[in-house]
Structure formats: structure tokens, C-alpha cells
Amino acid sequence: MDTLFHMQTLLIIAAGAIATYLTRVGGYVFITRMKRIPPRAEAALNAVPAAVLTTLVAPAAVTGGLDVSLTMAVALLVGLRLSLLPVLAIGWVVVMVLRQVIG
């Protein structure tokens, strides 16, 4: 590692930090000035986290190979019952076992 920071990375982090802070104060500023959000806009905003995060899961589960697909299927089933940390632990064990078995 020759440098501590890269210019472009630094700028992305700075912009990301500002964007993140704006989301944290934005709702307060907005709600203290406005009475009501249009229901369809609210429904759309409400869907944002699931919609964005799903795009990081589904393609990986489909294109990552049989070991990853099976692991994600198991994680989905246990994820309906258990919380995040046990699901991660189970998923990790499953993928390690599958890689021993499949190759």
C-alpha cells in the first residue's frame, strides 16, 4: 500500500458523507416545514430500501455459481425465522461445507 488516500476515492467518500448527513437532517427539516407527503410518493419512498438492497442480492444469488445459489436459498429460509447474525453464521457454514463437497 503506497498511498493513504486516492483523490477520486476521497471525493466519493466526501460526497457520500454529505449525502448521508443530508438524509439524516432532511426528514427533520422537511417534516417541521410540511404537513403532508403525497401518498404515492410516500409509498415509493417506503419501497426504496428493499428495492435497492434486493438488486445487490438477486443477481449475486443467480450468477454466483451453484454453491452461492444454494447458500442463498438456505439463508433465505432461515432468514425468515432468525435474526441477521445467526443467518450469517449459518450461511457461512453452509457455503464452506458446500465448497468442500462440490469442490
Partner 1 sequence: MTPATKDEIRDAFRRGSAVAIAAAPFAVLFGAVAIDNGLTIAEAALMSATLYAGASQLVGVELFDHNVAPWLVVLSIFAVNFRHVLYSAAIAAHIRHLTFWQKATSLFFLTDPQFAETERRADAGIRVSYIWSLVLGLSVYVPWLCLTVVGGLLGNLISDPKAIGIDVLLPIYFMGLVLGFRSRANWLPVVLASSAGSILALHFVGSPWHVSLGALAGILVAALMPLDGDEAAVGDVVEGEA
Q: Give, as ranges, the residues between 58 and 77 that touch partner 1 (CB under 8 A).
A: 58-64, 68, 71-72, 75-76
d(CA 94, CA 75) in angstroms, rounded, equals 9
| 8 A C-beta contact, residue 74 and residue 90 | yes
User: Contacts with partner 1: how many residues (CB under 8 A)?
Assistant: 71
Q: Which amino acid is at 59?
A: P
d(CA 6, CA 12) in angstroms, rounded, equals 10
Q: Compute the least distance from the CB of residue 39 to partner 1, in Å.
A: 5
Subset of residues 72 to 101 that bind partner 1, contact rule: CB under 8 A: 72, 75-76, 79-80, 83-85, 87-88, 91-92, 95-96, 99
What distances in angstroms separate CA 9 from CA 13, 23, 103, one per listed residue? 6, 21, 37
60 versus 101: smaller Cβ distance to partner 1: 60
Subset of residues 2 to 61 that bind partner 1, contact rule: CB under 8 A: 3-6, 8-17, 19-28, 30-32, 39-61
